[in-house]
Amino acid sequence: MSLIRLSDTGKIYSGNGSSAVGIRNINLSFESGEFVAVTGQSGSGKTTLLNVIGGIDSYDEGELYIEDSPTSHFTQKDWEKYREDYISFIFQDYNILESFTVLENVELALLHIKDGKLRRKRALELISKVGLDDKISSKGAKLSGGQKQRTVIARALAKDSPIILADEPTGNLDSKSAGEIIRLLKEISENKLVIMVTHDFDSVKDIVTREVRIFDGSVEYDRKLQQKAVSSDPEKTTSDDKNSLVRSSAVLGLALYRSKPVFTVFLALMMIFPIFALYGLSIFVAQTTEEISEKNFFTYIPGRIVVSSADGQPYTEDFIAEVAKKTGAESYMFYDKVLDDTFSYSHIDYARNIYVYFNMTVSVETPRHADIGRFPESPDEIFLSLPIYLQDEFGKKAIADIDLNLFSGLGGMKICGIDYYYDNTVTPKIHMTKEGLQNFTLLKIAESSFDSIKIFTTSFGTEWEENYYFPGSAIRFTPLLAKNEIFSPQFKNFDNATAHFSNYQSQNELHYDFTVKDSLEGYSELSYDSNVFFVSTEFLTELTNEVLDTSVTQSSLFFSSDAEAKKAIQVIKDSGLAYLMSDAKADVPFESISNALSYLGMIILTIFCLIFLTLFVIICTSRAVMSTKDDVAVLRSMGIRSSVLKAAFVFRMMLSLVPACILLTVTAFIVYLNPTSNKYVPFLHARDYMFIFFGMLTVTLLVTMNFVKRIFKVSVRRALKEGDRI
């Protein structure tokens, strides 16, 4: 059985309105162990015959048989598989991968070997066999002609294919180098089919087993010169499995990445610009979206569902406790308005010449941990969860001496601990003990329920009287006072006081008599606003009981998650209550025309930036692809499949993005871990970085595949000989 057989095979070249015969009516067969010399004048069709046999060029007439199987039906993929399994090329122009070392040139022909160490060992053995031990690390471009040809022969041996096609392999060599190359080819032919095109038949006539002379595209004569070497059937290496494809693509992609270090560094630097531009664009979009997005009705707490009386009538705590039991809620909050109130902190720090201002909300969740201090243990203690940029304000290692009157409505309490976090988009939180939250809730009820508070003070045993007027926000509470005691820095020299708590809207007024205390443990006039008064926690409870019993129409139920909360909706409705999840948003998407215009402007700017960045990536990627176009042609001639080559290019471009991604990650860590920069750069979450990385990767890969696809539209012969422009 012939290894290769041509039957009336012909090839016609056409272009520019004319046509030319490459070969015609070729009838030849070749067997393993033969060393065939193809001779003839220049332009006679020798190289065309070699290209047709090697699957580098197609044929137009007749048939080409591989082990008696016809190939006229072969697709491009079939020819790639044929070149991969059967063919190794040795060219007159060497077609060495000049940007690769000798070792890399040979190793790339050994991709079928899975073990990297075995692949390296085999490559070194072959390099030693062709006498290039001292040139292992030399780039192809630095080798002499003989050394390049030796490298290509080692590469052909590495592939271990049954057919070796040599096109004028000694044409550019001196006589000594040419003799060495011919002897190497003779050694190879002992168990392979070697077909060599040559103009100098005299230099090989004593070595070849057969001469085929081509004249004007046809076989002039075919003569046997000596017996072919006795050989066993050669084994063909195959690599169809997906793991081989992935592995080979990764090895080749890494080799392409390392082959041009200067260009690789340049490409990596260029990729930094678009990825950081996407970073800036993501920050802009996140910030703009936050400013113009729909606002929540309530403070969002996972698992919180807000319920209210459908008819607007107040209900008792017993009622809401029963609803909580029916729904299986983990807990409830009878008066929940405090959760949706905003508490501000503001002052001018003259030492640092800055204005400090931020808002906070009360949290019912347990803090993560304490960076400073401890969790609250008594009702008058609060624990703060703050963004890291407030570290200089509240202390790095110990809690700073903070005047709590700088907090709206928190005067009279003290900070026991702080937890700092890096996500500056998260609203700062105030944590309290359960009892502390109950007391604080009562205080907020009192503040919001009484429009004015008038306190009459009298000195014991005299008629000396003084009147003081306070707003509801002036109330402070402390467990250090008895139920009938009151204290204020303004109540000096007074023994008794009568307080009138008034609500103009309900025309309700409550009167209470107190004994005036002249001091309060831990109190300092420098620490507290003098326009406040303190009552006991017990009195505060009594003061607000009436309000709670006659005015509460909204409460909150707490479940383990939003999903669990939604399961309770039907029971809530059956109880005659209306409900909203705590993440419910307003129905109107824009509060003003200005917001709508901002939203439109953001979209236009984002589209413009993405188009610009895509064009930039196209330029960078096209340069990367085109810089290795010649290498791709050689790799294709080596029989490396297009699927492997395309995947290798993808892998190479992925590697080009790695430095930019690492730099962005490091930059983000530095920005957000540093309190100063954390304040000014909006925090991006994992999903934002996934958008940046995968968005950049997707655009790069799509552009890469487009350019690679265009490269593969050009035939291997044209890519090798004509250098077609893409």
Give a yes or no: residue 678 inside a domain.
yes
Give a yes or no: residue 421 inside a domain.
yes
Question: Is residue 605 within 8 Å of 687, Cβ to Cβ?
Answer: no
pLDDT digits (tens, 9 = 90+) for 92-116: 788 888 889 999 999 988 888 888 8
Give a yes or no: residue 726 inside a domain.
no
Q: Which residue type occupies 291? A: E
Q: Does one domain contain both 449 and 421? A: no
**Per DSSP, which regions of 110-169 are E strands?**
163-167
Distance between alpha carbon 377 and the CA centroid of its chain, in Å? 43
Residue with the larger pLDDT of the pair 664 and 608? 664
Helix axes 76-86, 642-673, angle to 10 degrees: 90
Q: Does one domain contain both 30 and 125? A: yes
With 0.75 as the threshold, say if the pTM is over it: no
Q: Does one domain contain both 50 and 167? A: yes
Domain count, the chain: 5
Q: Residue by residue, what is the 3-state secondary structure of 234-258?
A: CCCCCCCCHHHHHHHHHHHHHHHHH
As a whole number of angstroms, the distance between CA 206 and CA 655 comes to: 51
pLDDT at 101: 92
Gyration radius of the chain's alpha carbons: 43
Q: Does one domain contain both 85 and 199? A: yes
- Spatial strand order in the sheet of 429-431: 343-349, 354-362, 429-431, 381-387, 414-421, 372-373
Which range is least confidently modeled, 273-282, 397-406, 506-515? 397-406
Calculate mean pLDDT across residues 562-588.
88
Calculate mean pLDDT across residues 675-702.
87
As a whole number of angstroms, the distance between CA 130 and CA 109 comes to: 15
> Residues 6 or more apart from 87 whose CB is under 8 A from it?
54, 55, 161, 163, 164, 165, 639
pLDDT at 726 over 50: no
Give a yes or no: residue 298 inside a domain.
no
Q: Does one domain contain both 388 and 452? A: no
pLDDT at 231 over 80: no
pLDDT at 229 over 70: no
- Report DSSP letters for 676-688, one per residue: HHHHHS----HHH
Question: Is residue 151 within 8 Å of 76, Cβ to Cβ?
Answer: no
As a whole number of angstroms, the distance between CA 344 and CA 697 comes to: 43
pLDDT at 524: 63
pLDDT at 160 over 90: no
Residue with the larger pLDDT of the pair 238 and 80? 80
Give a yes or no: residue 587 inside a domain.
no
pLDDT at 428 over 90: yes
pLDDT at 659: 92
pLDDT at 242: 47
Q: Does one domain contain both 345 and 391? A: yes
pLDDT digits (tens, 9 = 90+) for 108-149: 888 888 888 999 999 999 899 888 999 999 999 899 988 998
- DSSP class of residue 439? H
As a whole number of angstroms, the distance between CA 140 and CA 148 comes to: 7
pLDDT at 667: 93
Distance between alpha carbon 97 and the CA centroid of its chain, in Å? 34
Question: Is residue 253 within 8 Å of 651, Cβ to Cβ?
Answer: yes
Question: Is residue 379 within 8 Å of 432, Cβ to Cβ?
Answer: yes
Which range is least confidently modeled, 297-306, 426-435, 487-496? 487-496
pLDDT at 45 over 60: yes
Q: Does one domain contain both 482 and 619? A: no
Q: Does one domain contain both 222 and 251? A: no
Give a yes or no: residue 181 inside a domain.
yes
Q: Does one domain contain both 288 and 342? A: no
pLDDT at 591 over 60: no
Nearest CA among 436, 332, 330, 444 for reference residue 383: 436
pLDDT digits (tens, 9 = 90+) for 282-309: 888 888 877 776 677 888 889 999 999 8
Which residues form the domain of 511?
438-551
Q: Which residue has the tokens 């009484």?
A: 450
Give a yes or no: residue 328 inside a domain.
yes
Q: Does one domain contain both 571 and 546? A: no
Q: Which residue type occupies 200? A: D
Encode 454-487: b = buried (16+ Cβ within 10 Å), e = exposed: ebbbbeeeeeeeeebebebbbbbbbebbeeebbb
Q: Residue 39: what are its φ and ψ, rounded to 5°?
A: -120, 175
Confidence class of residue 581 from pLDDT cuts 50, 70 and 90? very high
Specify burial of residue 314 (Cβ count, 10 A radius: 0-12, 13-18, 19+): middle
Last residue of a domain, one of 198, 216, 238: 238
Q: Does one domain contain both 574 and 636? A: no
The whole-chain average pLDDT of the chain stands at: 84
Q: Residue 18: what are its φ and ψ, rounded to 5°?
A: -135, 165
Helix axes 76-86, 629-637, angle to 10 degrees: 70
Tokens describing residue 421: 């976090």
CATH of the domain at 60: 3.40.50.300
Last residue of a domain, one of 385, 411, 432: 432
Q: Which residue type occupies 338? A: V
Give a yes or no: residue 682 inside a domain.
yes
pLDDT at 11 over 90: yes
Calculate mean pLDDT across residues 258-270.
85
Tokens describing residue 553: 């129409």
**Per DSSP, which regions of 409-470 are E strands?**
414-421, 429-431, 452-458, 465-470
Q: Does one domain contain both 268 and 325? A: no
As a whole number of angstroms, the distance between CA 608 and CA 615 comes to: 11
Q: Angle at CA 212, nearest 5°, toward 211 and 216?
A: 145
Last residue of a domain, one of 393, 414, 432: 432
- Report DSSP letters for 209-243, one per residue: SEEEEEETTEEEEEEE-SPPPP-PPPPPP---SHH
Name the range with the highest mean pLDDT among 288-292, 321-325, 363-367, 396-400: 321-325
pLDDT at 400: 78
